[in-house]
Every structure is written in structure tokens, then in C-alpha cells.
Structure 1
């Protein structure tokens, strides 16, 4: 941690006070104003609904943004989740800081437990103390690692365990109602009785919610998440007096859907805003499920990760109202790049192309899934040039079906090709011009960089001035 802070100080001395027009490229830029707004919306929603909250830090891998995600001035439990052990190791000092301030802390290693990681996770557990570490399992062959983890953590620090449920995404987890699910649940209960772990709860991730394309459509998948965990939870044969089971659901599209106004407890009807009397709307079902789960004694938790920065994949999901609640103006991450060359007439139909110094390693190479009825009509680029310094049109409510302007249409290791898409008159670009590109997937874009340069668009007249630098942890 000390080395990280020393690095941060050196980076601050190098960048803070300079303009985005003065620093080297490519570089990842975060807008503090937008990050804070997105984090606050999430914190306000879980508080309003009385839900537990677990933030995923895999997108950014920084201390600074983790503080925004958990609410630095809050007194609520600090529950975080990570995708790599390295993230868990680096977040320990912050969790200890919060624990010393009186907040309960827990970090979930959100990948099915591997034996090769037991020693490192045990060190994390030993530093955080009782209930400080939780892990995921989705196969009976992973259970022996729990006993080893408990033993090596010392001090009676049993790992808390989530049973990973596959509710349709098909990436990891056991299928509800399957023999494997029942067998693993029974084995977990036996492991808990033997002192190898504490059965914390059930966990699922609706990754397929990234394929939603209609406003608030992800709400339906949120209901499916709750429903899947409810079915498994009711079938568990837990001893009397067991602590309440945590049911953890989420992916950024489904988690942010809890911001729907009809879920507000003060809302008289979950269908009031639409004027419908149909009590079977997705919002009504979610509201009812949350109430039922709480009444049955379960602790309901929501988790998400990319929501602070957002990106084009999230914009494409329409997980919230695309005209008001989920717009391009809320995206808090961009890639700063420079135009290296311009090629008039080289593109389709004689359009212009331009070369920027942002290829696969700087921008990432993960698409927005083309779900249009006619392949190729929906957005299929590798990034969209933001209006900053260009006047390029921002994606509107019709995105990804409707899109245009300068986009990254072709990409290789260090080369990004900008192409003009649409029938509007081209906006000229020139050699040496700086552009900021909204990425498809913020998690992948960040992975190619050692730090983020931070600006604050609230600073009128100084929107391009760098106010901080946030080092990130790369590796596993």
C-alpha cells in the first residue's frame, strides 16, 4: 500500500493541474462528477428499498472509486467483491480502515474457489478477521479447499460461502432444481456443521441482461434472479437457529433497474407510472418478490460493478429509461487519443477515415452484441467518439439501433481506424487533433492502463484540467 501511495504521489506531481491537451496519449480519463452521480444513485436506491449492497471493484481496481461505491461517510456494512485475488489483497488496507471506524467489512472472491489460491486468500482472511472473507463454490470438488482455507486463516476465521447459482447465463454456477444443486447444498451444510465454513447465502449473476434492448427490460431478468434464488433457498434443509441466508443478485443492468420509480416503497402501485392496472408488470413482480423474501427472513443483497463508469454496452441495454435515466452524458470513462492521419475518400461510399493511436491494447476489443433483425444495421463498432473537441453527435435514445458520426470501425494492436457512419455531413478531423472515445466495455479498456487521469466536469471553465490520478492494480 505504501508503494502504491508513493506511486500515486509521483503521478499526481506529473499530471495534476495539466490539461487533457498536455498529456501523453492514449490515456484513460475518468470524470469525477459522473462517477459520483452514478454511485450516489445506486446507494440511494438500495437504501430506499432496504436492500443489502455489495459493490464489485473489478472494473476500476482502485481505492478511490471503491470509496465512492461504498459511501465513504456512511456507517453501513462495507461489502465488496473482486474477480482476482490481487484485488482482494490490495483492498485489505481500506477495509481495515473502515473496520477500525466501526463498519463491518467483507470481501467476496467472486470466482469459484481454486486450491492454488488458498494460501493467498488465507492471508487476506487473517488480516480481516472473522467474517472478513467470503468465497464462491459451484462444485463439490471445491469443498475440501474450504477446510484448508479455514485452517490456514487461523484464529477460527472460517470462510463465509456463497453457493453460486446459474439462473440462465451459463457461465458458472449450478442450475436450480438440478441434482448437482441439491447435492452441493447438502454438502455445504455438512461442511458448515464440521466447522469448515459458514454458509452465507446464494449468489447469481444475470450476465445475459447485457442483451436487453428495451427500456427497463432488465427488470424482468432481475425478477428471474430473485425467483431462482427463492426456489433454491426454500428447498434448503438448514438447522433451526441458523443465521439468515443472504440472497445476492445482480449485474449492472439488473441492479440499476432497482432505480425504477415504481419500486419506491412510497409508490402506491408498481404500475402507477404507466397508468396500467396490471399487477403482473415486471416492476410489480420484483416489488412483490422483495417483500416476500424479506418476510421469509432472507437478507436481500444487490451487487454490480460497471455502473459507476458505464460504457456503450450499458447504454445499449436500455436497463433504465434511455431518454432520461441512462444517457451518453452519464458515461464517466473515455479514452484520450490523437488523430495520427486522415484518409479522404478511403471509407465506404467515398467517406473519410482517420487513424488514431488507440488500438486493441488501449481500447479493448469487446463488441456490443448485434441483436438487430438485420445484421449489421445496429452499432457494431469498437468505440464512439465523444462530442468533446469534435462536435461529434452523441448516441441518443435509439442507440444501438440508431447510431452515426465518428466511430472506431476497425482495430488492431495499436491502430484504431475512425470511420464516418451515417448520412449526415462529415465533421472534419485533422492530424494532431485530440479525441475522447467512449469504450464498449469499461472493464476491458481499463485493463491496458496503469492509472486513470481524473477530471471533474463540474469545474466550469476548467473541465479539462486533471484533478487527480488513480493508480489501478493489474494482474491476478
Structure 2
């Protein structure tokens, strides 16, 4: 069903990229889906393959929905990590009645989600797509079509330079109604945005307010993104960056935008800072606390008292990855290696005994940089790998459960202290597993063995694949005559959008 929904109902003309997608990727997807669904992980080919555990995804999504509702925060999930219709439903709560506010990074994501946004709007939910890149000429035509199809207030644009406001005004003129904008504020990441209290910030605000007075746009809010929080090492680090974000944009709001009739949205986030609000103590309901947690509670109360609407956004939190594990933005009760929902399924092709450090074995696997990415874990000084082998079961040739090798997993101090199989070197299609630890502790591998790798960055790893094979690890038992447990059966295939 989901391959059919792509672009259905859209008013946009197919781009060359869309036509290529439909003529090539979709046909391949339908062929693989027919072969893979109801198969088990051991049977899948060709490899590598992206495996998505929907049981873990549901938990990760619900935790975020529960936390934002409990704290009275607006919620705007980002779809750039997974780029699927099905997971977007889980991010916004498919049966909820709350507004469907999302972030997109590419126009392909907007076109993919248009039918879903129409569906939600027909059910009475407010819908809004925020195009997270600052407004630019090449994007306006497609955004016009999306806006036209969904109606007023359905698309919000980002600006971080006065010249971009003119593009917004042209868009508003063509649409016949005012366009909402977020002003991007740089609170420390230095990727995009204007610095608080800078002349550039003052000039941009003045230009947006001028356009607002002329009826061409309206200021929806201030937006900050804190990917520098990836360098954190515990929950207080993550909460501290979240406080700094709020403090930076709140300072701008108080100095230049106080006394507005329309509530100003202050939007902050990144997965470490956004998921940190799940920690006990943030809502004041428990005695578990820390100095930054107390600071956050007081700051949120003050901003709400002045009429600000507080919003958080995040993208990789449904799948998680080794980078998120390394930040420890939440305690062990909320985040361990077992919460990572994305793995890359690969095969051990060859073994090289004694080639590794301290005469350990190295292994060639069928997953290199195109499957895993080449993004290091920030803050991972003790870990320089490109992925870690999960403890997934060994080949079925080992009949007794007791005979299965016990593969090590990242501990509570990760990235410190990991001893086990990690992807130590990568080239385009080749990956080299290396053993980190003593030679006498090495856990054996076999040629032909299927393995699953936790990637450093799920956003980058996922980009190498056209679709996910979906399993559910919460399923228990084993059907009679089945080739594997129910938790390893491929239940569905989810098509990812590709391109720009």
C-alpha cells in the first residue's frame, strides 16, 4: 500500500527525480517485497540490508509524545532520518487529534508526505510542514504546490538573512495569503542562523517585522538547532545545552519581540536535548534532580508565564544509534544499546587470523561506507569505529542455544571501555571487523555468518538504502516449522524517499 501512496493526490508535476524513482526504485521495491516479507533475517539477500525494529521504534516515539504532553510542550518531529510515511505516523501519533507539525529537509520529503498531510487535514487535524533549510529560490516552486494543496498556514519557511524575506514575500503574493516564518537563531552550533544580540539579528528581525506589518508574512517564532549537544556525556550536559538554546532565543524574544498579540513559538532541539526532557525530575514530579534540571524547569516556567509557546524538535530519536548512546542524554532506564532500532544486516565473507592488533582476527564484511556512512561518533575519543556488531544470534548451524557465542555489547560507559567486534576500517563496499580486546577473549566468527551492525549515525546509514525490512522484536515464540523466531520475521517493507 505504501509504495502506492507516494505522490498520490499531489498537485505537483513529477520532477525528473520523481520519474526516476517511480520507474526504477519502486519496481525494485515491489520485487524485493514479494521475496522478503514472511522471510526471516537469515534468509535475506542481497545484502547489506537496513533492518528496522518497529517494536523499538514505537517505544521511542511514544516516549517523546508522552514527555511533551506531560510538560505542555509543542512537538515537531523531523522526518529526515527515516524518510518514510509509516514512521511519520508513529512520530505524530496516528490516532491523536493534536496538530501535525513536522520538519522536512528536502522537497522529496514534502512530496512524499503530501498525501498523509491531506489525510490528517481531512480528519480535522491542523497540519504544518517546516522547510528547515533557509528559504531559497530553487525550493519555492515546489513549496508553492505543497502550500496550494494543503491551504493556508500549512507550510512554514525559515529565514536567517534579510534577502530571504523577499522570496517569502513573492511566495505570499503568489499564494494570496500571509506566510509564516521562523527566524533561525544560532545558539552555538554555527551551521546556520544569526547570533543573538548581533547587528545581523537586529536587521533580520526588523526586515521580518516590516514584512509582517505590510501583511505579507507573519513571524511564527524563533528556531534553534543544537547538534553540538552530540558532544555531551550525560543528561546534565544535554539539559545544559537545551537551557542555553532556550536562553539564547528567549533573550531575543524579550529584547525585540515582547508584547505581541500572537504567541511566539520558541523552538529548540536535536535528539540529545529533546529526549533529555524525558528524564525524571524535568517535570518536577520526582526528587531526581540536578542543577541543570532545576534551571530548565525554572526557565520553562518563566517563558510560559510571558506567553511564549515552547516547542521541541528532533529527528533521529525513533531509530537511535551509537552516537545517541554515547551522549547519555537519558539515564539507563530510558536509553541502552537495546533501544537502537536500526541495524545493518551484512555477511562475513572472509576471516584473517592473526592480522589484527595483538594477533587477533580481522573479518571482511559486506557493509562499507555506502551502507554505514563515514561519520565518527562525536565525543567518542575512546571509540573510533564505524559501527559495532550487535549480539544477534549466530548461524542456525549451532543447534543448542547454550552453544551460541556471547558477543559483547556497549556498556553504560560507552564509548569508554568497549571490548568486542567493531567495524574498524571501511571503504566503499568493504568493511573490516576488528576485535577490540584481548586475544584470548576473542569471540569467534564464521565465514557465511549473517551479522547485524549498529551504525554510528542512523541518518547517514539509512541514506544508503531504498527501503527498510521491518521486524518486531517484541513478538514472542516460534511458529511450528518456522525457520526462525517470530521476532526475526520480516513483517513489511517500508519505502524511503530519495533525492532532493
Short-chain TM bin:
over 0.9
CA-to-partner distance for each residue in 1:140-188, whole Å, 9 max, x for gaps?
A: 1111110122133x2x343210000000111110000000001101110
Change in CA separation of 1:283 and 1:237 when aligned onto 2, cut-off 3 Å: closer
Contact in 1 for aligned 2:225/2:268 (Cα 8 Å): yes
User: Deviation at 1:42?
Assistant: 0.3
1:333 aligns with 342
Contact in 2 for aligned 1:28/1:452 (Cα 8 Å): yes
2:299 aligns with 289
1:406 aligns with 421
Aligned residues: CA RMSD: 1.6
Whole-angstrom distance in 2 between the partners of 1:379 and 1:388: 21
2:248 aligns with 228
User: Deviation at 1:370?
Assistant: 4.7
Q: SS at 1:341's partner residue?
A: strand
Q: SS at 2:205's partner residue?
A: helix
Contact in 2 for aligned 1:125/1:157 (Cα 8 Å): no
Contact in 1 for aligned 2:232/2:379 (Cα 8 Å): no
Q: 2:490 aligns with which of 457, 466, 473?
A: 466
- 4+ residue runs over 4 A deviation: 5-11
2:411 aligns with 396
1:62 aligns with 84
Contact in 2 for aligned 1:335/1:437 (Cα 8 Å): yes
Alignment of 1:48-197 (within 5 A): 48-152=70-174, 154=175, 156-197=176-217
CA-to-partner distance for each residue in 1:379-403, whole Å, 9 max, x for gaps?
A: 1100000000243211010100121
Contact in 2 for aligned 1:357/1:414 (Cα 8 Å): yes
- The yes-or-no answer on 1:369 pairing with 2:395 is no
Q: 1:209 aligns with which of 225, 229, 237?
A: 229
Change in CA separation of 1:295 and 1:14 when aligned onto 2, cut-off 3 Å: same
Q: SS at 1:21's partner residue?
A: helix
User: Deviation at 1:214?
Assistant: 2.5
Q: 2:263 aligns with which of 244, 249, 273?
A: 244
CA-to-partner distance for each residue in 1:195-230, whole Å, 9 max, x for gaps?
A: 221210000011100000124420111111111111
Whole-angstrom distance in 2 between the partners of 1:111 and 1:17: 40
Alignment of 1:31-50 (within 5 A): 31-50=53-72
TM-score by length of 1: 0.93
Whole-angstrom distance in 2 between the partners of 1:11 and 1:209: 38
Contact in 2 for aligned 1:188/1:199 (Cα 8 Å): yes
CA-to-partner distance for each residue in 1:337-390, whole Å, 9 max, x for gaps?
A: 000100000011111000001011111110113554xxxxx0110000000024
Q: SS at 2:197's partner residue?
A: coil
User: Deviation at 1:233?
Assistant: 0.5
Higher mean displacement: 443-452 or 323-332 = 323-332
Contact in 2 for aligned 1:369/1:380 (Cα 8 Å): no
CA-to-partner distance for each residue in 1:391-429, whole Å, 9 max, x for gaps?
A: 321101010012120000000000000000012611111
Whole-angstrom distance in 2 between the partners of 1:450 and 1:286: 40
2:41 aligns with 20
Change in CA separation of 1:406 and 1:81 when aligned onto 2, cut-off 3 Å: same
Whole-angstrom distance in 1 between the partners of 2:30 and 2:129: 27
Q: Structure 2: which 5+ residue stretches go unaligned?
A: 9-21, 395-405, 477-484
1:219 aligns with 239
Whole-angstrom distance in 1 between the partners of 2:417 and 2:143: 46
2:273 aligns with 254
Q: SS at 2:202's partner residue?
A: helix
Equivalences, count? 458
Q: SS at 2:55's partner residue?
A: helix
Q: SS at 2:256's partner residue?
A: coil
Q: Structure 1: which 5+ residue stretches go unaligned?
A: 373-377
Alignment of 1:271-310 (within 5 A): 272-274=287-289, 281-310=291-320
Whole-angstrom distance in 2 between the partners of 1:82 and 1:260: 27
Contact in 2 for aligned 1:383/1:437 (Cα 8 Å): yes
1:375 aligns with none
